[in-house]
Amino acid sequence: MRLEDIKGVGKSRLEALNRAGIHEIGDLLLTLPSSYADTSRTVGMADAPEGESVCVEGEVVRVGRPARFNGRSTVRMTVRDATGSLEIVFINQPWASEQYAAGDMAALYGRVSVMKNGNRGMYCPRKVTERGILPEYRALKEIPLKTLRNIIREALEQADECCPETLPERIRKQWRLPDRGKALRDIHFPPDRESLDAALRRMAFEEVLFFEAGAALMRGSRREGRRFSLKEGDEDAFWAACAFPPTAAQRRVLKEIRDDMTSGRAMGRLVQGDVGSGKTAVAFGAMYLAFVSGYQSALMAPTEILARQHGESAEKILAKLGMRCEVVTGSMKASDRKRLAERVAAGEVDAVIGTHALLSGDIAFSRLGLVVCDEQHRFGVRQRGLLSLKGEGEGAQVHTLVMSATPIPRTLALILYGDLDVSVIDQMPPGRVPVRTRIVPEEKREGMLRFIRQETERGKQAYIVCPLVDENENPELRSAREEFSCLKNGPLKDVSLGVTWGGQKEEEKQRTLSDFASGRISVLVATTVIEVGVNVPLATVMVIENAERFGLSQMHQLRGRVGRGRDESWCFLMASPNERLNALCRTSDGFKIAEEDLRQRGPGDFLGTRQHGQPLLPAAALGGDGRILEEAARCMAELKKEEYAPEREQILRQAEKIWAGRLEAGVLN
């Protein structure tokens, strides 16, 4: 059966499915729900937890007439039940005033929020017309949600044929996993929560197990690497050139890198470390070891401003050791870039630091031996592989070092970076002052803004991070542009303000970030675009708006933007107090925070998959807590035993089939 044979899939819908990467029935069935709307039970309005989506039912007390403000129409109404009431706001749905009337009974499904006027309510809830655990899918143009559900319902009749079993029966029985066909049927149309949980666990287990199997195949196929010629004392010479004494953790990790470089096998190593732990120094140490062995190195950073900061740091450390360092960015003049490319190709540059511009065809190396990727999660693994390929041609493979300031629990790191060895810098340099973190409820906002003003009068700087760019995206959340406008014309009107976001024109964004870094801007209002890449020692205040909407690890990253100088620094979480936010206030240890984040939100949310599109492990994103990662890891370890030889061969064959092209390219995503 083909996609076009399914009832309801005409030419335009088939094209829409194809554009979404769905070409066969198997692709459709493996497009799992992104979330679920549970309308199977009703929650009392007074009991409905803030920040969660629930189904409520009650009497409509009042319905307002449509009103317009800032180019949007709003309809407000109040509903109540025996426990309390909620304020309902419909945005750009003027017909809602005709759908409901005082005295009607209404069943609604939506997220409970504290609105800007302080009342509890819901923005744009949907009218409940169907009860159950209803699947939600990522939006597909030209295919309404209800239509997509019907298409998938019919396609599920072919589940066993189009999505055959991938796990050996012995493994399924040992780990209590339903067969694949049943799991897919229960995921798309769950009869109850228990069946759904079992199905999600099955698909998450499969996803992680085959990822680990692919990583095992890749580790086993890691080719011969450049064998660096190093002698005792080379590392000491590097550390002596630094303006600070290294921590024991930095020394240990650089030694692990040295051992890789002299082993004869290509290094593939992830260096994890909290913000401020000294990862960049370790990376520079690795680049120095490449230099004394006669090789060039390349460091790729996610932003131009971070690349330039690395270039300035390299001049202070590596240039003293005789290394010729250059920075290449997309904004360079063509003539300057051409001259630099010629020098790199001639071997007249020892270390090249840059952005994605390093990947362009005009940058060719004479003898590339080491590739460093900073803030690994900001690059696709494919980009890391492309940079490594610039060193091909001498037979032996280039050494690869990737760095991440996003602490990841070891179990998750071994899965996400399964093709890499993992090093952890688990010490902070002495004298670093922890950032003081406080939860600030709405009623204390004015006092917080007064504090920011006082800090700017002392010559200090502040960040204010919002979850959205524009208010129109979601009226219950604060937006960067609206916040900037309100502060500029109100509480901070005589303070130098700037605003930036991810979709801003690159030239304008870089100018704003540079002005903030140089002190020309005192308060920067931004989205999470500033999570990586701005080192501003005078920044002493970080404000995170709608803190309840961010993951703990992401807020810890944002908090790391301040406290980089010697002054006491603060992080203010704008939200109502809860245990999750209290956990962030209690500790500045990024790895403890990461473990807590994983426990509370599960691996999918931990990785930010809701905000950044298709997750790396889509099934795991739905699979709940981190136990599934540990179970799959234990299963993979058991498969190494001789008694599991048939099952091991079956799993590895399946992994080879899944990852065929990517294993050949040397990357898993």
Picking from 464, 469, 532, the residue whose alpha carbon sits closest to that of residue 305 is 532
Picking from 90, 76, 85, the residue whose alpha carbon sits closest to that of residue 124 is 90
Residue indicated by tokens 């066909």 = 181
Three-state DSSP at 81 gives coil
* Domain covering 436-587: architecture: 3-Layer(aba) Sandwich (3.40)
Contacts of 58 (CB under 8 A, 6+ apart): 45, 79, 80, 81, 85, 86, 105, 106
Pair of tokens at residue 231: 């002698």
Picking from 553, 531, 547, 554, the residue whose alpha carbon sits closest to that of residue 463 is 531
Give yes or no for residue 574 having a pLDDT over 50. yes
The string of DSSP codes covering 623-659 is S-STHHHHHHHHHHHHTTSGGGHHHHHHHHHHHHHHH
Continuous segment of H or E residues that includes residue 340? helix 334-345
**Residue of higher predicted confidence among 618 and 525:** 525
pLDDT tens for each residue of 80-137:
999 999 999 999 999 999 999 999 999 999 999 888 777 899 999 999 999 999 999 8
pLDDT tens for each residue of 176-213:
999 999 999 999 999 999 999 899 889 888 888 888 88
Of 263-267, 467-471, 571-575, highest mean pLDDT: 571-575
Instruction: Tell me if domain 41-127 and domain 436-587 are identical in fold.
Output: no
What is the band of 410 on the pLDDT scale with cuts at 50, 70, 90?
low
Question: φ, ψ for residue 75 (rounded to 5)?
Answer: -125, 125
Of the chain, the percentage scoring pLDDT greater than 90 comes to 51
Q: What is the CATH number of domain 234-425?
A: 3.40.50.300
Amino acid at the residue 126: R
Give yes or no for residue 556 having a pLDDT over 60. yes
Q: Is 662 exposed, middle or buried (0-12, 13-18, 19+ CB in 10 A)?
A: middle
Give yes or no for residue 352 having a pLDDT over 90. yes
SS3 labels along 513-568: HHHHHHCCCCEEEECHHHHCCCCCCCEEEEEECCHHHCCHHHHHHHHCCCCCCCCC
CATH class assigned to 41-127: mainly beta
Residue boundaries of the structural domains of the chain: 41-127, 234-425, 436-587
Picking from 473, 495, 497, the residue whose alpha carbon sits closest to that of residue 483 is 497
The pLDDT value recorded for residue 395 is 55
Residues 122 and 94: beta-carbon distance below 8 Å: no
Residue indicated by tokens 């923005």 = 123
Pair of tokens at residue 285: 């140490």
Distances (CA, A) of 90 to 93, 128, 129, 473, 549: 6, 15, 18, 13, 21
Picking from 361, 354, 400, the residue whose alpha carbon sits closest to that of residue 381 is 400
Question: φ, ψ for residue 495 (rounded to 5)?
Answer: -105, 145
Distance in angstroms (rounded) separating the CA atoms of residues 390 and 579: 48
DSSP state of 224: B
Three-state DSSP at 132 gives coil
Three-state DSSP at 74 gives strand
Please, what's the largest Cα pairwise distance for the chain? 85
pLDDT tens for each residue of 234-280:
899 999 999 889 999 999 999 999 999 998 888 888 898 887 888 99
Q: What is the arithmetic mean of pLDDT over 439-448?
A: 92
Number of Cα atoms under 13 Å in the Cβ half of residue 564: 22
**Residue of higher predicted confidence among 666 and 302:** 302
Residues 88 and 122: beta-carbon distance below 8 Å: yes
The pLDDT value recorded for residue 544 is 97
Picking from 414, 427, 425, 428, the residue whose alpha carbon sits closest to that of residue 268 is 414
Distance in angstroms (rounded) separating the CA atoms of residues 105 and 103: 7
If you compute the radius of gyration of the chain from its CA atoms, what whole number of angstroms results?
Answer: 27
Contacts of 220 (CB under 8 A, 6+ apart): none
Pair of tokens at residue 132: 């159950």
The pLDDT value recorded for residue 318 is 95
**Which phi-psi region, left, alpha or beta, contains residue 431 (left: φ > 0; alpha: ψ -120 to 50)?**
left
Distance in angstroms (rounded) separating the CA atoms of residues 370 and 267: 9
Distance in angstroms (rounded) separating the CA atoms of residues 567 and 60: 54
